[in-house]
Structure 1
Amino acid sequence: MSTQSFQLLIVALVTQTTNAYSNSSSPLGWSNMCQSASNDSNVVISCHVGVDDTWDLNHFRNWSAILDNGTRVSLEVICEPGASVCLPWPYRARHLDTLKVKDCINRCYFSDFNRPEVLEIPDSLRVFEGYGVTEQFNVMDMLSVDLKSLSPTLECGPLFLEVFIYRNTKTDLIFPEGFMPKGNDEITDDFVQTARDVNKLNHVCNYENMKVYDVSQRQDSSSASIYATFINSRYPKLTMLNFSSTEIQTFPSILLTWKGLKLEKLQVLDLSHNNMSRFDLRGGPQSYDAPIKVINLTYNSIETIAEAEIASFLSPVAQVVDVRA
């Protein structure tokens, strides 16, 4: 075969492969578990993942990389019991606008932490909703992450989100054989130190478009985790903040420093169905145009209200504070 003929053959093969991607309504390997629908430049791909299926965001990346400019894709993934997906943080993929995941085991959370080329993919995600997701963390992968040197991309994740819902999720730690896990007290100490390390990061995560932040129905939240979430982040358009049913035992006072956290638009703070017995709504002198309307403290362990707590109602924090049992 001549050199020219060989080159023509390569061009033909590349063209056929490209056309296979562009003409397919879903990524290669997804046809048996996904259906797609399109309307103008909007594409919706709905997947039902079984225990024997392989659903990998990298397959979507290969497919979406050659879509026409202006195309927006919504991915909706539902897993059967025991089924898993590979969904690496921070969910970067071209043209990905909406990502909804339900009842899946995510086995690839850390897989992009050592792939800088992935972090060059444009950030386009606008809506993320996760329900009943189990984050399967390999302990050795976690220990390999140097939190103090995290890039803003990994620390902040999708910055253009309007809606972030991560409800009823849990963490499954995978220990290597022979590894002795720490006691609860040591794990708590490590978490507090992690929160302090996050506080020392030089960058600030500015979520300019986010309106809904919902991490309710989780069993691993605490005042320390809330502190770590907000101390280096800004949410200037946030209207709904939900930490209900997260077993919080103390009122997260950091959420009352509205001006410093850029939460001036917050209207509803939901802390219902937790284990708080005391609260203090005095966050210091406030000056903002749209004070919070509702603080929901219903179904906590509030049996009596101290004089100082009554006095905190007088501060201009909220129009309604609901403490009903």
Structure 2
Amino acid sequence: MLRLTRLKVCLFVNLLSLADFAPTDSAAWLAMCNRKIKPGNDSSYAIFHCNVPQGGHMLFSDIRSWASIHSKGMFGVSIVCEIGGRVSLPWPFKANNLVSLEVRFCALDDFLSEMTYSNITQIPDYLRNLVISDVSIHVGVRDLHDTVQNIENITRDADCGQLTLHRMVFRNIHFNRKTTESELDVHLYGHNSTDESDFVAADSLVHHCSYNNLTSLDESGSRSMGKYHLRLLTETSMFPRLEEYILRNNNFSHVPHKLQTWTHNFPNLRVLDLSENELVAFEFDLVTVAQGLFNTKYRLIDLRKNKIGSVSIEGAMNLQRIGDIIVDLRENPLYCNCRLADFRRYLQEMYEKYQDEHTRQLLSDIKCSLPFNLRNSSVLDSSLDQFFNC
């Protein structure tokens, strides 16, 4: 969801209006806000905490107009909506000196209204922190069609978003639409194929984006995530400093292909969170990273609260070979028998290697679910040795 590429526009679809981009000296939004000072590492900046009341409507264009005239330094805006509150929020949320934007519990309008505005490129990237959480975005198929027809006019700024981001959260996004994912695929791609070989080649995408400052990306609860989202994300973008990627509760029944090899696609990633999904197998093909890149802490694959019953011999041996990845399989229906023996040996190696209390507790809390006589027993319990011998 970080990019609005020509095939990812199915994630953001509402062209209810094309608001005038020309700045106006409007400060109406300030009536809904309180100003506070947020201390920062380098310098402090003002942050406006705004509440949109029931039936209220806030315009991001007002914030941008105010910033173009009155802002003399960095500032942030945090918006919370009461039930029925709306915000007109056109991507990519550009305003002079706006370094932090957080929007929660709102209905969002005009999300695509500035996708082809060349004027938007006149405002530099400022955003460092972006949080869009628990919102609904209204979708119209006809508007989506109009956007696709003008795909060549989408600017790099609109395609990539703001490259200055350090942290980005798109959590629990809901789409108000009257069409299905398969219908959108047909509408966008002109066919109903599920074969990725039919996918438009990545080099046909005009804009390539490098998020050199981004360290944390959260797309949890994005159950409407586009079919080709992760493929586009990795083939047309670079994330050299991304340390944390959270995809919790996205209804995944399989590990997306581009995440199966995440040590290649995200070379600096330390935490991959796929917890609270519907995964039934450990589907990773991991590679060893350059020696010395990770010399202080392990990397974590968080698979808590899935439906994984076992880990293959190949998967366990691969984890042993790499040696610095911990797999968190707590609250999974693990069947403790000889087929889990190699994974158990891997856990034992990790337990000996990392001796801090937190890590050892995590490993000890990976428990058997079956057979019933071993339920809630730690996989590492030495008294269970007989059950893992074939």
Q: TM-score, normalised by structure 2?
A: 0.67
Q: 2:271 matched to which residue of 1?
A: 268
CA distance in 1, matches of 2:57, 2:233: 32
Cα distance in 2 between the residues matched to 1:135 and 1:248: 22
Alignment of 1:75-94 (within 5 A): 75-94=77-96
Q: Is the 8 A contact 2:219 2:247 kept in 1?
A: yes
How far residue 313 of structure 1 moved from its aligned partner, in angstroms, is: 2.3
**2:65 counterpart of 1:62:** yes
Residue 222 of structure 1 contacts residue 247 of structure 1 at CA under 8 Å; is this kept in 2?
no
Aligned to 2:304: 298
After superposition, the C-alpha distances for 1:244-268 in whole angstroms (9 at most, x for unaligned) are: 111111112323545753x222111
Q: 1:141 aligns with which of 143, 156, 171?
A: 143
Question: For residue 294 of structure 1, what is the amino acid of its counterpart?
Answer: L
CA shift, 1:63, in A, is 0.8
| Selected match of 2:281 from 264, 267, 278 | 278
Instruction: Out of 224-233 and 266-275, give the one that drifted further.
Output: 224-233
Higher relative contact order (CA 8 A, sep 6+): 2
- The aligned amino acid for 1:73 is F
* Aligned residue number for residue 9 of structure 1: none
Q: Which residue of 2 aligns with 1:169?
A: 173
For the 8 Å contact 2:134–2:174, the answer to whether it is kept is yes
Cα RMSD (Å) of the superposition? Answer: 2.9
Is the CA contact 2:109–2:137 (under 8 Å) kept in the aligned structure 1? yes
**More divergent stretch after superposition (218-227 vs 205-214):** 218-227
Q: Given that residues 49 and 78 in structure 2 are in contact (C-alpha distance below 8 angstroms), is that contact kept between their aligned partners in structure 1?
A: yes
**Aligned pairs, how many?**
293
Superposed, which structure 2 residues align to 1:103-122 within 5 Å? 103-122=105-124
Determine the C-alpha separation between the residues in 2 that align with 1:265 and 1:215: 18
CA separation in 2, counterparts of 1:303 and 1:38? 50
- Deviations 1:47-105 (Å, cap 9, x if unpaired)? 10023323111111111112455x01100100011211001001111111100111001
Answering whether residue 321 of structure 2 is matched by residue 319 of structure 1, we say no
Render the CA deviation track for 1:188-213: whole Å, top value 9, x for unaligned.
555778x9347231432100001110
Secondary structure of 1:247's aligned partner: coil
Query: Unaligned 5+ residue runs, structure 1?
Result: 1-17, 22-26, 176-180
Confirm or deny: 8 A CA contact 2:128 2:166 kept in the other structure. Answer: yes
| Residues 222 and 249, structure 1, Cα contact 8 Å, conserved in 2 | no
Q: How far is the alpha carbon of 1:283 from its aligned partner?
A: 3.4
SS in 1 for 2:80: strand
Percent same amino acid among aligned pairs? 23
User: Residue 246 in 1 paired to residue 265 in 2?
Assistant: no
Q: 2:282, 2:156 → 1: CA distance?
A: 34
Corresponding position of 1:255: 259
Match in the other structure for 2:128: 126
Give per-residue Cα distances to partners, 1:84-139, cap 9 Å, x unaligned. 10010011111111001110011110111232212321111110012101111232
- Structure 2 Cα separation of the partners of residues 152 and 299 of structure 1: 39
CA deviation map 1:230-284 (0-9, x unaligned): 22111111111100111111112323545753x2221111011111112232235
Q: How has the CA–CA distance of structure 1 residues 186 and 169 changed in structure 2, closer, same or farther, with 3 Å as cutoff?
A: closer
**Equivalent position of 2:348 in the other structure:** none
